[in-house]
Amino acid sequence: RWEEERYPEGIKWKFLEHKGPVFAPPYEPLPENVKFYYDGKVMKLSTKAEEVATFFAKMLDHEYTTKEIFRKNFFKDWRKEMTSEEKSTITNLSKCDFTHMSQYFKAQTEARKQMSKEEKQKIKEDNERLLKEYGYCVMDNHKERIANFKIEPPGLFRGRGNHPKMGMLKRRIMPEDIIINCSKDSKIPSPPPGHKWKEVRHDNKVTWLVSWTENIQGSIKYIMLNPSSRIKGEKDWQKYETARRLKKCVDKIRNQYREDWKSKEMKVRQRAVALYFIDKLALRAGNEKEEGETADTVGCCSLRVEHIKLHPELDGQEYVVEFDFLGKDSIRYYNKVPVEKRVFKNLQLFMENKQPEDDLFDRLNTSILNKHLQDLMEGLTAKVFRTYNASITLQQQLKELTNPDDNIPAKILSYNRANRAVAILCNHQRAPPKTFEKSMMNLQSKIDAKKEQLADARRELKSAKADAKVRRDEKSKKTVESKKKAVQRIEEQLMKLEVQATDREENKQIALGTSKLNYLDPRISVAWCKKWGIPIEKIYNKTQREKFAWAIDMAEEDYEF
């Protein structure tokens, strides 16, 4: 258990040993018969240019490659990899024909699907060997699983939403880019032959094993331990304990910010309104960003006047604020929310004499807000509010929606509905899956077939009953019983399919996974499963059960967040 090994503040481990990362396999040039055409003529590309061309070819069927910004960024970065002759010839992306390459890759994908059992087994064994050698580290006295020991291969950056850098080339990461972190007394991993590490450091105040800087956003990437590891599990547990501490003082904090709406100081009023949004709408805090460097996404503190509209009345409700902005990962946040009169009046005040591109909260930034939150409760941040509101919503919704008399599929539908309420609160959206219509049609035809089957079974039951009335013997009585059971069984199967269809339809544009993994105290779900006799694997898959092993051990059916 974690409780045994407490270190002084900030120290994460005393001993750390690992094998370092696994690099992406080197580029294999295309076979001679796979051609690239420029302006209708075959053109042989240099290895570097060819490699980058294959990244585009592999994405040819994807809508990304039709987007203007993607094409522009790709072409600019591709030209950097070309020889001077190639540069002078290839001047227009529209004249490039990647279809032959693309067909080759599709055929390869098909061939992989058609592999024999033995071939698949060999690949599986190779992967397991790799995992055994590189997938574990020793941290103090524990052998721990590493989450992502393979380094991402080079490719084209996609980003989410309409990211301004989509299509740029993600460089191949070399040993010379890599910082290794391990303890001084461990066996330090050796770089691939002919290479050296950028740096080896021994920093026991952090938990990462390997890091490098990627070239697109300049962000630092890490190799960390698996979520099921001690260090991650403990961090997770502490996160929810902090949110539970907030539960004890949230009323006091709410009364305080309500008072602050009337403050003489503009700074205090703005802080109080922002906090109200973070609490009521689970908005993210929103950091300041470098101009032009990244997508124009905002959070609560960085909202601009153009992101909100005020309606004294809308659709029969008073004091409605209409939000419309791009949040994290360029996901649009659109919401119409009735607010308290004081908040509404304050927003009118904050917007006075400002241009659309001016900050709504001009006297506020994330560091001011976070310092204030820290004063209200130790360890409090905007994210703790999100975690608290998400978990408390799940707990309330489960109490309201679970019908004790329902069967298991219906109870699981209630669970998913409770989870959906949270995802909507947190604005976790997704585009409807590409296969959505098709899988819905398949499901509908299954339902129709089941209905026919049920009608047949009911007819059979009716005639068996009539038969038994005439004959009045044991055999015909037994037939009636078995036909009755068949009808019940088919009814249950039909209900299960119909529940599935409802579930899928309601889930079309909502991403449940983010909140389930990051914002919901798993003990709430574990307790609910134990209370209603629902197998835990109906709620959490294998990976999630490993990540939340601590909660499965800890929570009894009467657990209250």
DSSP collapsed to 3 states, 443-483: HHHHHHHHHHHHHHHHHHHHHHHHHHHHHCCHHHHHHHHHH
**Band of pLDDT at residue 289, cut at 50, 70 and 90:** low
String of DSSP letters for 235-304 = HHHHHHHHHHHHHHHHHHHHHHHHHHTT-S-HHHHHHHHHHHHHHHH---------TTTS-----STT-B
Residue 227 has pLDDT above 90, yes or no: no
Parallel, antiparallel or unpaired: strands 96-97 and 142-145:
unpaired
Residue 240 in contact with residue 386, Cβ under 8 Å?
A: no
Higher-confidence residue of 517 and 103: namely 103
Which H or E element spans position 321? strand 317-326
Q: Give yes or no for residue 486 having a pLDDT over 70.
A: yes
Amino acid present at 14: K
User: What is the rounded average pLDDT of the residues 218-246?
Assistant: 88
Could you tell me if residue 559 is inside a domain?
Answer: no
Residues 422 and 543 in one domain: yes
For residue 73, the SS3 value is: helix
Q: Could you list the residue range(s) of the whole structural domain that residue 138 is in?
A: 16-23+119-226
Cβ contact 156:169 at 8 Å: yes
Q: Are residue 482 and residue 349 in the same domain, yes or no?
A: no
Output the domain CATH number for residue 256. Answer: 3.90.15.10
pTM here is 0.72
> What pLDDT digit, counting tens, does each position of 308-342 carry?
999 999 889 999 999 998 888 777 888 888 999 99
Cα dihedral 120, 121, 123, 128, rounded to 10, equals: 140
Q: Could you say which of 381, 415, 449 is where a domain stops?
A: 381
Report pLDDT digits (tens) over 86-127: 999 999 999 999 999 999 999 999 999 898 999 999 999 999
Tens digit of pLDDT for each residue in 170-188?
A: 999 999 999 999 999 999 9
Is residue 31 included in any domain, yes or no?
Answer: no
pLDDT grade for 293, boundaries at 50, 70 and 90: low
- Give me the CATH number covering residue 427: 1.10.132.10
In a domain, 516, yes or no: yes
- Asked which of 116-120, 247-251, 381-385, 423-427 is least confident by mean pLDDT, the reply is 423-427
Q: What's the rounded mean pLDDT across residues 453-478?
A: 88
The share of the chain scoring above pLDDT 70, in percent, equals 97
- Is residue 11 in some structural domain? no
What is the percent of the chain with per-residue pLDDT over 90, rounded to a whole number? Answer: 61
Residues 87 and 128 in one domain: no
Q: Report the CATH number that the domain containing residue 174 is assigned in CATH.
A: 2.170.11.10
Q: What is the Cβ-side half-sphere exposure of residue 496, based on CA atoms within 13 angstroms?
A: 11
Give yes or no: residues 356 and 467 share one domain: no
**Amino acid making up residue 325:** F
Strands 155-156 and 142-145: unpaired
**pLDDT at site 108:** 92
Q: Work out the pLDDT band at 212, boundaries 50, 70, 90.
A: very high
Radius of gyration of the chain measured on its C-alpha atoms: 29
Find, among 291, 356, 295, the residue nearest to 326 by Cα.
295
Residue type at 371?
K
CA distance 13 to 209: 12
pLDDT at 327: 84
Identify whether residues 82 and 169 lie together within a single domain: no
* Number of domains composing the chain: 4
Question: Would you state the structure tokens that stand for residue 270, as one six-digit string?
Answer: 């703005």
H/E element, 81: helix 68-81
- Mean pLDDT, the chain, whole residue set: 89
Q: Which of 226, 258, 275 is the last residue before a domain boundary?
A: 226
243 near 387, Cβ under 8 Å? yes
pLDDT of residue 522: 94
pLDDT tens by residue, 522-542: 999 999 999 999 999 999 999
Judgement on whether residues 377 and 306 belong to the same structural domain of the protein? yes
SS3 310: strand
- Averaged over 133-147, what is the pLDDT? 90
Could you read off the pLDDT of 28-51 as tens digits, one per residue? 999 999 999 999 999 999 999 999
Cβ contact 391:239 at 8 Å: no
For residue 230, the one-letter residue type is: R
Task: Answer yes or no: is 203 within a domain.
Answer: yes
The domain that holds 65 is classified in CATH as 1.10.10.41
| Beta bridge mates, 311 | 320
- Window from 257-271, 302-316, 499-513 with minimum mean pLDDT: 499-513
What mean pLDDT is predicted for residues 470-477? 85
Residues 222 and 236 in one domain: no
Query: Which residue spans within 118-209 are E strands per DSSP?
Result: 136-139, 142-145, 155-156, 169-170, 179-181, 199-201
**Domain match, 81 and 126 both:** no
Question: Is residue 299 within 8 Å of residue 327, measured between CB atoms?
Answer: yes
Indicate whether 147 and 92 sit together in one domain: no
Measure the CA–CA gap between 514 and 420, rounded to whole angstroms: 11
Q: Are residues 398 and 358 both part of a single domain?
A: no
Encoding tokens for residue 66? Answer: 């039709």
CA angle in degrees (0–180, nearest 5) for 181-184-187: 80
CA atoms of 367 and 107, how far apart (whole Å):
53
Note the Cα 386 to chain centre separation in Å: 15
Residue in 134, 257, 519, 540 annotated catalytic: 519
Say if 28 falls within a structural domain: no
> What is the number of H-type helices and E-type strands within the chain?
17, 15
Mean pLDDT of 340-351: 93
How far is residue 217 from each of residues 153, 171, 249, 253, measured CA to CA in Å?
A: 16, 12, 39, 37
Last residue of a domain, one of 173, 198, 226: 226
Q: How many CB atoms lie within 10 A of CB 284?
A: 22
Annotated active-site residue 415? The verdict is no
Residue 56: helix, strand or coil by DSSP? helix
User: Can you list the pairs that 476-485 forms with residues at least 24 positions away whose Cβ atoms lie under 8 Å?
Assistant: 483/457
CA distance 390 to 387: 5
Residue spans of alpha helices (H) in 377-407? 382-401
Residue-level pLDDT at 489: 93
Examine residue 183 and state whether it is found in any structural domain, yes or no. yes
Distance of CA 46 to the CA centre of its chain: 38
Is residue 29 situated within a structural domain? Answer: no
Same domain, 370 and 436: no
Q: Are residues 495 and 479 in the same domain?
A: yes
- Is the separation of the CB atoms in 209 and 40 below 8 Å? no
pLDDT tens-digit map of 411-435 = 988 998 898 888 888 777 777 777 7
